Amino acid sequence: MPTASNGDTKLHYETMGSSDDPTILLIMGLGAQMTAFREDFCQLLVDAGFHVIRFDNRDVGLSSKTPGEPPAMEALLGLNGEDPSTFDVPYLLTDMSNDAVAVLDAADVSKAHLVGVSMGGMIAQTMTIEHPDRILSLTSIMSTTGNPDVGAATPELMMRMPMSVPTSKEEAIASSVEIYRLISGPAFDEEEHALHAAKDFDRSWNPNAQSFQIAAIFASGDRTESLRSVGTPTLVIHGRLDPLVQVSGGEATAATVPNSKIVVFEEMGHNLPETLWIDITNEIIDHAYANAGG
């Protein structure tokens, strides 16, 4: 499969559909591989007339891994809300945004519709701020602005979230199932998720991915003021039941980006449940077609 380059960082990506159709670039969230955008989800977009690109962010899947040891998860969580200029991290959301631009370059795509989920929404927002000439529209899903006063995880969730890093395939699968059980809505299928977690482990497992990426999120700070000047047509999608990035994060995004639209799914948590794929992709499709000319 093809690879894009941003300096020394290699980004693994794949495409679906015809390159003659308008492109949707899918950007996945924290610690998740591109395969978290399931093929059938992507196919709904292809069937609607889009060229779809999904890729592995740095530190996950088949893309480049950051050398060295990341900061401990407990230490990172303790830094949330602190002055980001004091953080010593190997990369920022800006670098991950540039990774996404490199994928577009490698795929010979001049402009794309962006769809980012969770951290992917933060990357997509950053890309829209820094590379507006490459963006036709933005869809920010279950994400937030970087303002620590909105979109925070619930205290109840943080009390129950596993903090230890798995050391085996069995532990990684069990940890993934437990995390998604806690953050997902009522449609979560534990058995199916365990099957996908096993496939992802076999594809590529990096125990340091989440720590490095959380460090990038916290060190990148608050995008609120920059988002106020965004002219890109923006759709915000969020789940009312999301305990990891509470709906206030999506509401703040929609309130900050001029002329944006927000859609809240009442039975959705912090996941993309198959039961909502048609509804979610229909929102993405309608938004993209309404803004086909940029």
Model confidence over 32-85: pLDDT tens digits?
999 999 999 999 999 999 999 999 999 999 999 999 988 766 666 666 666 666
Domain boundaries, given as residue ranges, for the chain: 3-159+209-290
CATH class of 3-159+209-290: alpha beta
Longest Cα separation, the chain: 49
Q: Which residue has the higher pLDDT, 22 or 78?
A: 22
Query: For residue 165, what pLDDT is reported?
Result: 85
Q: What percent of the chain has pLDDT over 90?
A: 87
Going across the sheet that includes 51-55, the strands are 3-6, 9-16, 51-55, 23-27, 112-117, 135-141, 234-239, 261-265
- pLDDT tens readout for residues 83-136: 666 677 899 999 999 999 999 999 999 999 999 999 999 999 999 999 999 999
Residue with tokens 């996404």: 100
Predicted confidence (pLDDT) at residue 294 exceeds the cutoff of 60: no
Predicted confidence (pLDDT) at residue 179 exceeds the cutoff of 90: yes
